[in-house]
Amino acid sequence: MIKMEDNVIEEMYARHFPLISREEQEKIAKKRVTVVGAGALGSWEAYFLKKLGVENIRVIDRDFVDITDLPRTAYEKEDIGKPKVDALKEKLGILGYFEDLNPGTMEILDGSDLVMDGTDNIYTRELINDYCVKNRIPWIYVGILSYYGNIMPIIPRKTACFRCMIPSLPSRPMPTCATEGIMSYIAPFAASLAVALCAKILLDEKIDNKMIFFDLKNMEFNKIEIPKREDCECCAYGNFIFLKKIIKIERDCEGAFIVTPPERMNVNIDEIEIKLKNLGKEYINLKRFIQFMDDDKKIIIFDSGRMVIKGAHSEKEAKNIFVRYMGD
Three-class SS state of 34: strand
Taking the complex as a whole, the smallest distance from the CB of residue 226 to Zn ion amounts, in Å, to 10
Start-end of H helices in 65-207: 84-92, 122-135, 162-165, 177-180, 186-202
- Interface of this chain with Zn ion, residues 215 to 234, rule: CB under 5 A: 232, 234
Three-class SS state of 96: strand
Residue 211 in the binding site for Zn ion (CB under 5 A): no
Q: Tally the C-alpha atoms within 13 A of residue 215's C-alpha that lie toward its C-beta.
A: 6
Q: How far apart are CA 250 and CA 242, in angstroms?
A: 19
For Zn ion, which stretch binds (CB under 5 A), given 50-58, 93-101, 155-163, 195-203? 155-163
For Zn ion, which stretch binds (CB under 5 A), given 164-172, 211-219, 262-270, 290-298? 164-172
Residue 161 in the binding site for Zn ion (CB under 5 A): yes
- Interface of this chain with Zn ion, residues 235 to 254, rule: CB under 5 A: 235
Is the Cβ of residue 16 or residue 134 nearer to Zn ion in the bound state? 134
Per-residue contact flags (x/-) with Zn ion for residues 274 to 303, judged by CB under 5 A = ------------------------------
**Do the bridges between strand 297-302 and strand 289-294 make them parallel or antiparallel, or are there none, so unpaired?**
antiparallel
What's 107's DSSP letter? Answer: G
- Interface of this chain with Zn ion, residues 27 to 66, rule: CB under 5 A: none
The alpha carbon dihedral of 279, 280, 286, 290 has a sign of negative
What's 157's DSSP letter? Answer: T
Of 101, 164, 211, 272, which lies in the binding site for Zn ion, with binding defined by CB under 5 A?
Answer: 164
Is the Cβ of residue 196 or residue 207 nearer to Zn ion in the bound state? 207
What is the number of other CB atoms lying within 10 angstroms of the CB of residue 126?
Answer: 24
For Zn ion, which stretch binds (CB under 5 A), given 157-165, 182-190, 239-247, 301-309? 157-165
Binding residues for Zn ion, rule: CB under 5 A, are 161, 163-164, 232, 234-235
